[in-house]
């Protein structure tokens, strides 16, 4: 099997599973308990927090553990809105965000917030000036993703952060879920106030994540309860998940240093070979893209038919994002990029990890070529 669906989820590293099992069995105490088992669990949690802080070059006190990207995005957006609702009711995002951002904005709209959804260009990129033009006297939040999960476009986070330095009362949230370990992001330098990451996108386990909340930033909690995570995220901490996520992050960032060039070579090879196919439209931008995502359409085939045909030959890919692929919804990202509905319905996403090789890419291209020929024969 060739697994090219790493933006949906990654295979956990064996070391991650080992550390999850070890912590779950040997350090199962509740970190809030005052006895020895609780103190040990709390200490592990603290070590993981420190390690994640160091790896992301932020203070460990800015690391808040959550259950993943969806929760971190909801907490950042709704927590900002709740905390600042007396100061302002206007929030800004882009037209290509993940559903967890998009739907959080829609929900806030139903609760009386005004939302501006900034459009993107044909490569899926927002313009800094369009964001600045949308700012009103009562804007409290700008939420823009770092790497788009469907086509891989990198957003101009540094420029947006620089522009927002002129608006110190507006919080800047970045959904960093797809970028971690693949495209560097200087959280400190780019004036990012809130930043979401998800463990299972970098070989950690599902149900683990972080919301980074920069020092001095105050947002409201969404859960009421035991006041864990400095009152921001109540609920008994997933100690084993958190410890194994810290390990996954360390191993992934090590791969980044040694494997980025190889990953880019695999991507460039795939793009070059896909370009040669008849009736193929590539949606991933030629510049300013992450090294692990390739999105394309083969005209005339529905994405899901193509995905299943490829799967039968051992190539695992997806249509657009994992959440919309099951619902068979047309990619809102591609529509926002002005791709026609018909072409968007044919889109396929290949997403890589550092484990994927050029050999696999060569086999994948042969599988794609054969499948295209066979599907054309069936349809003719």
Active-site residues: which are they? 323
Beta bridge partners of 293: 351
Indicate whether 98 belongs to the interface with ligand PLP (CB under 6 A).
yes
Q: Residue 198: which residues within 8 A CB-CB, separation 6 or more? A: 68, 69, 70, 72, 177, 180, 208, 209
Looking up tokens 């590293």 gives 13
H helices present in 222-330, as ranges: 239-276, 303-312, 322-327
Kind of pairing between the strands at 171-175 and 139-145? parallel
Least Å distance, CB 177 to ligand PLP, is: 4
Least Å distance, CB 140 to ligand PLP, is: 21
Indicate whether 171 belongs to the interface with ligand PLP (CB under 6 A).
no
Whichever of 147 and 330 has its CB closer to ligand PLP, that residue is 147
* Structural contact between residues 217 and 186, judged by C-beta atoms closer than 8 angstroms: no
Indicate whether 284 belongs to the interface with ligand PLP (CB under 6 A).
no
Least Å distance, CB 29 to ligand PLP, is: 26
Indicate whether 204 belongs to the interface with ligand PLP (CB under 6 A).
no
Q: What is the C-alpha to C-alpha distance for residues 147 and 155, in angstroms, rounded to an integer? A: 6
Angle between helical axes of 358-379 and 239-276 (0-180°, round to 10): 60
Instruction: Select from 2, 177, 211, 212 the one that contacts ligand PLP (CB under 6 A).
Output: 177
The DSSP element (H or E) to which 352 belongs, if any, is: none
Whichever of 206 and 250 has its CB closer to ligand PLP, that residue is 206
Instruction: Select from 51, 74, 149, 356 the one that contacts ligand PLP (CB under 6 A).
Output: 149
* Structural contact between residues 80 and 104, judged by C-beta atoms closer than 8 angstroms: no
Indicate whether 333 belongs to the interface with ligand PLP (CB under 6 A).
no
Half-sphere exposure of 192 (CA within 13 A, CB side): 29
Nearest to 6 by CA among 363, 297, 311, 292: 292
Whichever of 198 and 356 has its CB closer to ligand PLP, that residue is 198
Instruction: Select from 79, 152, 209, 285 the one that contacts ligand PLP (CB under 6 A).
Output: 209
Q: Which of residues 303-322 bind ligand PLP (CB under 6 A)?
A: 321-322
Indicate whether 325 belongs to the interface with ligand PLP (CB under 6 A).
no
Instruction: Select from 19, 51, 94, 100 the one that contacts ligand PLP (CB under 6 A).
Output: 100
Residues of the shown chain interacting with ligand PLP in the complex, contacts defined by CB under 6 A: 68-70, 73, 98, 100, 145, 149, 175, 177-178, 198, 200, 209, 321-322
């Amino acid at each position: 099997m060739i697994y090219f669906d790493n933006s949906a989820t990654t295979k956990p590293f064996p070391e991650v599973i080992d550390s999850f099992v070890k912590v779950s069995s040997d350090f199962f105490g509740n970190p809030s308990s005052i006895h020895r088992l609780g103190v040990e669990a709390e200490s592990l949690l603290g070590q993981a927090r420190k390690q994640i802080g160091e790896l992301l070059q932020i203070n460990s006190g800015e690391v808040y553990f959550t259950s993943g990207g969806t929760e971190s995005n909801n907490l950042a957006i709704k927590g900002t809105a709740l905390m600042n609702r007396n100061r302002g009711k206007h929030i800004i995002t882009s037209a290509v965000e993940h559903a967890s951002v998009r739907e959080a904005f829609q929900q806030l709209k139903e609760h009386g917030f005004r939302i501006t959804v900034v459009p993107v260009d044909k490569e899926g990129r927002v313009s800094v000036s369009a964001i600045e033009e949308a700012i009103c006297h009562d804007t409290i939040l700008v939420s823009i993703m770092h790497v788009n999960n469907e086509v891989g476009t990198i957003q101009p986070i540094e420029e947006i952060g620089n522009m927002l330095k002129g608006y110190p009362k507006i919080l800047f949230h970045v959904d960093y879920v797809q970028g971690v370990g693949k495209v560097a992001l200087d959280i400190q330098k780019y004036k990012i106030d809130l930043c979401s990451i998800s463990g299972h996108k970098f070989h950690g386990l599902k149900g683990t994540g972080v919301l980074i909340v920069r020092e001095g930033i105050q947002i409201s909690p969404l859960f009421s309860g035991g006041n864990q995570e400095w009152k921001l995220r109540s609920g008994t901490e997933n100690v084993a998940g958190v410890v194994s996520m810290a390990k996954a992050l360390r191993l992934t960032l090590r791969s980044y240093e040694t494997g980025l060039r190889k990953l880019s070579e695999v991507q460039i090879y795939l793009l070059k070979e896909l370009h040669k196919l008849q009736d193929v439209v590539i949606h991933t931008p030629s510049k300013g893209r992450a090294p692990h995502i390739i999105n394309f359409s083969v005209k005339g085939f529905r994405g899901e038919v193509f995905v299943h045909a490829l799967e039968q030959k051992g190539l695992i890919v997806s249509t657009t994002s994992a959440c919309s692929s099951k619902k068979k919804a047309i990619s809102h990202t591609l529509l926002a990029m002005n791709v026609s509905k018909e072409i968007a319905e044919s889109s396929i996403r290949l997403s890589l990890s550092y484990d994927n090789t050029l050999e696999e890419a060569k086999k994948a291209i042969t599988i794609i070529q054969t499948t295209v020929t066979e599907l054309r024969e069936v349809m003719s």
